[in-house]
Structure 1
Amino acid sequence: MQTRLVTLRERPELGPQVAAWLWHAFWRENGESLETVLAVVGRSDAERGPPQSFVLLEDGAPAGTASLAAADLDERPDLTPWLAGVYVRPESRGRGHGARLVQAVEWAAAEGGAGTLWLYTGGEGALYRRLGWEAVERVPQDGRTVLLMRKALGG
């Protein structure tokens, strides 16, 4: 199986697939429209720094995505940039694609001059912990609690 990472800047025609994944996985339950997500994804085309979205291709077909965002958690507007929207389609999980996508965003953040990258997750962050991320705090968000994590970038 051959894999390759591309950006939405390189392959904007992948935007609707990425938006559909993100809407189903994260945004639908918050009442956001697919059109709203498509608009956000469509702006994820920076050459350097946020916002950028990455797509992992598996034998040429989109298999997962992750993004570098300037902001992601309304409760922490002081923090930037963010790893956001990590998603791997179910039939492609268990192959290291999530780690590869996370590492692509880490690299892009570092290339953009960031010293620290942030993320939040509704889970315990096992994938991120394995990749060297540190749990910082639990943050109340929309009636639930999320785990805020960070990773120091660079040397």
Structure 2
Amino acid sequence: MSTRILAVSDHPELAPQVAAWLVEAFGRPGGRSVAELTALILGPTKGPEESFVLFDGDAPAGTASLAHDDLDSRPDLTPWLAGVYVPPAFRGRGHASALVRHVEGFARAAGVRTLWLYTWTAAPLYAGLGWVQVGLEHEIKRNIQVVLMRRDLAGDPA
């Protein structure tokens, strides 16, 4: 099957699907609702920000975003690769890697030199894509320790 990646800003009808995935994958008690996240995804941006949806054939099969901020304990770092999610039925097909590369390309085209992410489960995936672990941080909302990673985009081929 063929894949394609669409920007939510060009296809706002995809925002509720992205929000539902994010609540499913990263939600927590007392966290944002699907409606609140949808409004946030479609709302004003603080710089180069965008959410993307990967399609596997005609089926939406994953999402990833470029976000201005993502980790409350590190407001000094920006921008972030955020919300990378592929539903279980579509895993093992390289979709997460394709989404990461797409966000990196979008960020690079916007003049971003360094991109950040945090993860508590997928550090090996990101390391395999050239991301470097720079430390451990405390994720306040979940009260967990996470791995902070960086990707230097300057000098990378487009």
Q: Identify whether the pair has TM-score above 0.5, normalized to the shorter chain.
A: yes
CA distance in 1, matches of 2:54, 2:31: 27
Check whether the contact 1:5–1:54 (CA below 8 A) recurs between aligned residues: yes
Partner of 1:31: 31
Partner of 2:137: 139
Question: Secondary structure at the residue paired with 1:28?
Answer: coil
Percent same amino acid at aligned positions? 52
CA distance in 1, matches of 2:58, 2:84: 19
Number of aligned residue pairs: give it: 153
Partner of 2:67: 69
Alignment of 1:49-64 (within 5 A): 50-64=48-62
CA distance in 2, matches of 1:121, 1:105: 16
Deviation track 1:31-87 (CA, whole Å, cap 9, x = no partner) reads 3222221111223789xx522011101112210000000110111011111000000
Check whether the contact 1:7–1:45 (CA below 8 A) recurs between aligned residues: no
Question: Secondary structure at the residue paired with 1:150?
Answer: strand
Give the CA deviation at 1:29.
4.0
TM-score, length-normalised on structure 1? 0.92
Q: Which runs of 5+ in 1 are unaligned?
A: none
Give the CA deviation at 1:124.
5.0
1:100 to 90, 98, 101: 98
CA distance in 2, matches of 1:43, 1:62: 22
Question: Secondary structure at the residue paired with 2:85?
Answer: strand
TM-score, length-normalised on structure 2? 0.90
CA distance in 1, matches of 2:17, 2:106: 22
